[in-house]
Amino acid sequence: MQTILTLLAVVAMAGEAGWSHTGGDAGGLKYSPAAEITPGNVGALIEAWRYSTGDLARRAPEVTGRSKFETTPILDGGRLVFCSPYNEAIALDPATGAELWRFDAAISTAQRPANRYNCRGVTAWRDPAGQGLCARRIFMGTNDGRLIALDAETGKRCEGFGEKGEVKIQPAMPLEWPGEFQITSPPAAADGVVVVGSAISDNRRTPAPPGVVRAFDAVTGAPRWTFDPMTASGIAPGHANVWSTMSVDTARGLIFLPTSSPSPDFFGGERPGDDRDSDSVVALRMATGEKVWAFQTVHHDVWDYDLPAQPVLATLTLEGGPRDVVIQATKQGFVFVLDRETGEPIWPVEERTVPQGGVAGETLSPTQPFPTHVPALVPQTLDAEADAWGLLGFWDKAACRDALKAARNDGLYTPPSLQGTLMFPMTGGGVNWGGAAFDPVRQILYANTTRAVHRITLYPADQRDALKTRGVEVGPQSGTPYAMTREIMLSPAGLPCNRPPWGKTVAVDLKAGRIVWEAVLGTSEDRAPLGLALATGMPALNGVAVSGGGLVFTGAGDAYLRAFDAASGAELWQGRLPAPGIANPMIYEWQGQEYVVIAAGGHSEAGTTMGDSVVAFRLPKEGESGPSLWSRTIDRPGGRFWARVAGIALALIAVVMVVRRMRRRRT
């Protein structure tokens, strides 16, 4: 019965061809059945409209320099609704991008948010018993820890929710500073309940604020239930929070949480055991918060290999018939496929021996879970000799090789050390918060992946203060015997020390247990001198959107929206953006036309140029001209580099001609 309901939900979604949640649907498929844009005509896409939030012009550089524009709009009630990094909820006309309403949560920009100013999206909910104002609501979490309810039609506060339209979340212990605790991902709302997680500063201290998941009445804002993963495990050092996006199975009344690691990330001596239900997919009753099941992907995590991605709720067509599953992609590049009712793996997961020999006071798990059917989406071993890389030749490569060889490197799950430990994939590697997308028709999973190296080094606690002058990320890990540093392994030229590509889009046939294709994602154009576009691939925190027309759309670390052929992985189109679109794109149909939209605002943590735009693309309407030959040439990776080279060459020729004329006149 549940499988039939799930299939009916997919059919209903296909009829809408919209994007009702930041993950496409409540289960995070990131799929739209819209099929107007195809591999055959995608090259004709033009920019439909562009909207600017105005943040770059009206906010100080020190504020915009601490933001990341990771939002994904939703289509709700004839409005595209999204949030800015500073918690302004904005509604636009889907056809023109004209602003319909705007609400400012008025957060303080003096709070120094630990995870930077960020809002990945909003959530729509309709009150089945409601009439008039706030019958349809928009929920938004804020950087300063509030849950706000707005009327979807006007953007005005729902005064009956909490106190004048908002609930202030109170962390379970005092904060070190206001920005230590945030809400950065969209709430989940269903069955009259709205649920929020939290983002909490890593590696600060233990005990630390617990990662409590909180549920409220969607009409009144009254508390309904709480769930603390670390209390459920029997110890309470803090965190194991849900900072990413949750998924909801409305037919079963279940909410699925991707929990994070306990605090602190890189030393677990103060939290012995497996630390369940951290680093786990946890299924709760939406109405009550009762735990139904949990599946842990990392035991006793000391690598920050928490679950960053939204669990994908899909239906696989297997030999025994349709099977409702939860698909969880990880930073390590693993893909766990679990039965939605029980949490049991669909295919065997093995407990394999992993490296031991942690620092004094540490007790590591002797084994970790490894999926056996679906292959890892990224390499998980690094050869310091063979994989060292440098753009500037032998000197650059030799410096990388020496640095890599000096660190401990025993493969996946090598514990942090005083010597320095290589983490490959890095803590921002594999599949990150952008998550995976699943095509329910073709039965293929798609994901962006990052392939770069971190070095994690532990230091005796008495060196904490001295580390602050090192110029690298420092985690004090107060309350433990060790502080830590984390740094991306970069060459003297400032590029990753491991050989490229550093970012790829990957397609996986889950049933067959094989990778269908891999495509390099992004070039060096927006980082290299003169815009040199080397096919290095770029680290990709964001995810993809897949369409019924057979296309996979994604942003990247360079300023392009790309379209790949969903069947072959061929890169078919690039649309130039005002800034890198390190956000999940979305696809919808409106008035018979298909649109692809992405937030193009850059990412200060990734060191990109910054922006504040949301950009939409569509096919030309009847009578409209398509992209010009100039734009097809210049607005593609490498086009600007060769244009600059040509410009310099022409300028040199002009100078030579002028000099020759002057010499002739003198003679």
Using alpha carbons, list the distances in angstroms from residue 416 to 301, 355, 472, 529.
11, 11, 16, 36
Sequence-ordered list of residues with C-beta below 8 angstroms from that of 132, at least 6 positions apart, any chain: none
Separation of alpha carbons 601 and 614, rounded Å? 8
Reported in sequence order, the residue ranges of 362-513 that DSSP labels E, i.e. its strands, are 367-371, 421-423, 436-439, 444-450, 454-460, 473-475, 482-488, 503-509
Q: What is the rounded end-to-end Cα distance, in angstroms, of the chain?
A: 96
The answer to whether residue 25 is catalytic is: no
Structure token pair of residue 513: 């247990």
Separation of alpha carbons 478 and 314, rounded Å? 42
Chain CA centroid to CA 664, Å: 63
> Cis ω on the peptide bond leading into residue 387 (within 30° of 0)?
no
Cβ neighbours around 571 below 10 Å, total: 18
Query: Which helix (DSSP H) or strand (DSSP E) does residue 329 occupy?
Result: strand 321-329
The residue annotated as part of the active site, out of 265, 304, 396, 526, is 304
List, as one string, the DSSP characters of 221-289: --EEEEE-HHHHTT--SSB----S--EEETTTTEEEEE--PBSSSS--TTS-S--TTTTEEEEEETTT-
- Residue whose token pair is 């059919």: 11
- Residue whose token pair is 């990247």: 556
If 0-12 CB within 10 Å is exposed, 13-18 middle and 19+ buried, where does residue 375 land?
middle
Query: Which helix (DSSP H) or strand (DSSP E) does residue 292 occupy?
Result: strand 291-296
Q: How many helices and strands in the chain, by DSSP H and E? A: 8, 40
Pairing of strands 31-32, 544-547: parallel
Structure token pair of residue 281: 């997919």
Q: Coil, strand or helix: which one is 40?
A: coil
> Given its phi and psi angles, is residue 78 left (phi above 0), alpha (psi -120 to 50 degrees) or beta?
left
Q: Is the dihedral of CA 505, 509, 512, 513 positive or negative?
A: positive
Q: Give the catalytic positions in this structure.
A: 304
